Amino acid sequence: MYFPPVKQSLARPGLETMRQVDEYFWQRPEHFLPASWRDKIRLFDSTIGPRDIDQGSLGDCYFLCACASLAEHKKDIEAIFFNHHSSCTKAKEEKHGGWRVILNLHGWWKQIVIDSYLPSRSMLPAFGRNRRRPNELWPSFLEKAYAKGYGSYQAIEAGHPWQAQEDLTGYPGYSVDTLWQEAVEDSDAAARLFKMLERWNEKQYLISIATPTTSKTTINARRRQQQVNLEALFDKAGLATGHAYTVLDIKYFPLHRLCLLKIRNPWGNSVEWSGDWGDNSDMWKKYPTIKIACKPDKKANGVFWMEWNDVINFFDSGSVCFRQGSWIKTWHNYRVFSRFQGNTPELALEIVCDDYLDAFFTIHQKDKRGLPASDSDSKYAAIMISLFEADPLEATQTLVACSGGNPEEPNLKYTFELTRSTSIRYELKKGKRYFLVPRRLTSANGNNQPTKPFIISMHSSHKLSSGSCLGKPTTVNFVKLDPNNEVFRNLPKFQVGTLTTVTSIYQVRHGTDFFDTREGTSFTEGKKVNNVEYENMI
């Protein structure tokens, strides 16, 4: 993809507009840094951390919030910039200002090549940058690669943290916006949502919340029954409207029936909550044991604590990214390309387990971000996935999970969603045979093009095996079901019938290692192909 240092890379004419676009000019780091700093230019200059990130003048706080949450995991950020070429080639590229960035766009792993020119309006990058060390460039380069991936800097303004986290990690995300609205109106719903966030925090998932983009008057009117003058409170609260925040920790104190969230503003400055349990709140003096447990500080670093009821009142949405893995546990990612012909998929997954396997399954379609209204993909198709189970020799498969709602709480309801991705988490049982079936529905407001590409992703707790190596094999084959099969009639059971083996392009990535692109009939038997040749499958 062409992304030169010109005005069109800021905002594409006829498609986007950017305020004061003519005031920006492009500079390399050696141009905008003082001479004494030029021999200190680094991708990573010190310990990677969330405080590295400064937003600048581009309205992409959702993306920088996602970057800040991932920066808690140093190796994940380093893996995004992994260059798999030889040290000699890598050194030559970097000498001439060339960098490689790995992103998961539209559900498909890509390595995006960028140069080191950055938009400026002064002696620093105008957009994302390092707050403390302007010679450390990873925040600027990551934002530039994301902008290139979607066509321009303007294209990445405004969005949802969970989608950016999906793009950065490949792991599925989930929005709790609907649950949040229910929590505003109902205390029981608020309690259930808190418990859900608490469970996710214990699993160290990436949790984000956001303040409303609507006017303060609208916020106040929506909650008028609470008789709280939120317009006045917001001015004094130290919270930015239309802004994404990271949840760092969640604590419940049953003795006091107190629910607290530790929150970070990705701006990393003094713009912090000033109400109860803020840095300077008297509540810490009133409850010293809670202070010991929470360890608040008075630094102007954007980190603060809030009580759950205040969070519900001042924030109006939230999301999670189900990032997995640690230094002692590696997850494995497999992705395969296919298409819908009408509403029938050309490919389904046949999974035969000889051992237990914890897995996430996700269906992706092309993100509509940055696309003109005339592009058919500017509308999402109504999609879902369903999982069926049986013993290996049985012909009848029984529905055990459908996407729609919380992926960790799969249901049995066929729910088609106009969304870019939707997921299931399920523990596959030893000695069982499964079918994962992608689904599409004709929709009055959706994309109903005759042919619609999609990606199926599988994150597994164990490496898949064909049985030719040590360990018990779990195989995932690419098959096609008969278009007239009753599985496409939304029934709870179906007869497998005739299966056709399908050859397709797929990707494999183990943990944060570099990804491979392959061609074959299963996730375990295929030949390697050129990554670049197949990077734009969708």
The mean pLDDT value for 258-277 works out to: 86
pLDDT of residue 96: 84
d(CA 123, CA 32): 5
Return all residues near 4 (Cβ < 8 A) that are at least 6 apart. Answer: none
Q: Is the pLDDT of residue 228 over 60?
A: no
The ranges assigned to domains in the chain are 23-160, 173-321, 331-528
Candidates 104, 201, 265, 447; catalytic one: 265
In angstroms, the Cα distances linking 51 to 177, 186, 234 are 27, 36, 25
Within 13 Å and on the Cβ side, how many CA atoms surround 349?
29
**Least confident piece of the model among 184-198, 212-226, 303-317, 391-405:** 212-226
Q: Please give the full DSSP string across 273-306, using - where no structure is assigned.
A: --STTSTT-THHHH-HHHHHHH-----SSSEEEE
Structure tokens at 485: 């099969």
More confident: 470 or 173:
173
d(CA 433, CA 163): 32
Q: Where residue 469 falls among pLDDT bands split at 50, 70, 90? A: very low
Q: Where residue 226 falls among pLDDT bands split at 50, 70, 90? A: very low
Q: Please give the full DSSP string across 211-238, using - where no structure is assigned.
A: --SS-HHHHHHHTGGG---HHHHHHHHT
8 Å CB contact between 150 and 180: no
Candidates 106, 243, 364, 459; catalytic one: 243
pLDDT digits (tens, 9 = 90+) for 154-184: 999 999 999 999 999 999 999 999 999 999 9
Q: Is 61 an annotated catalytic residue?
A: yes
Q: Is the pLDDT of residue 390 over 70?
A: yes
* Fold observed for domain 331-528: Jelly Rolls (2.60.120)
pLDDT digits (tens, 9 = 90+) for 142-162: 999 999 999 999 999 999 999
The C-alpha R_g of the chain, in whole angstroms, comes to 24
Return all residues near 267 (Cβ < 8 A) that are at least 6 apart. Answer: 54, 55, 61, 240, 302
The mean pLDDT value for 186-203 works out to: 95
Q: Is 243 an annotated catalytic residue?
A: yes
The mean pLDDT value for 455-460 works out to: 97
Q: Is the pLDDT of residue 381 over 50?
A: yes
8 Å CB contact between 422 and 416: no
Which pTM value belongs to this model?
Answer: 0.92
pLDDT > 70: percent of the chain: 93
**Least confident piece of the model among 119-133, 141-155, 338-352:** 119-133
pLDDT of residue 470: 47
Q: Which residues pair with 207 in a beta bridge?
A: 247, 320
**Least confident piece of the model among 27-36, 335-344, 420-429:** 27-36
pLDDT of residue 94: 81
pLDDT of residue 313: 87
**Least confident piece of the model among 181-190, 236-245, 388-397, 460-469:** 460-469
| Residue pointed to by tokens 């197949």 | 534
Q: Is the pLDDT of residue 290 over 80?
A: yes
pLDDT digits (tens, 9 = 90+) for 61-91: 899 999 999 998 889 999 999 988 888 888 8
Q: Is 96 an annotated catalytic residue?
A: no
pLDDT of residue 38: 81
Q: Please give the full DSSP string across 150-205, using - where no structure is assigned.
A: HTSSGGGSS--HHHHHHHHH---EEE-HHHHHHHHH-HHHHHHHHHHHHHHHHTT-
- For domain 173-321, the CATH architecture is Alpha-Beta Complex (3.90)
d(CA 271, CA 269): 6
pLDDT digits (tens, 9 = 90+) for 17-51: 998 899 999 999 988 888 888 888 888 887 888 88
Q: Where residue 472 falls among pLDDT bands split at 50, 70, 90? A: low
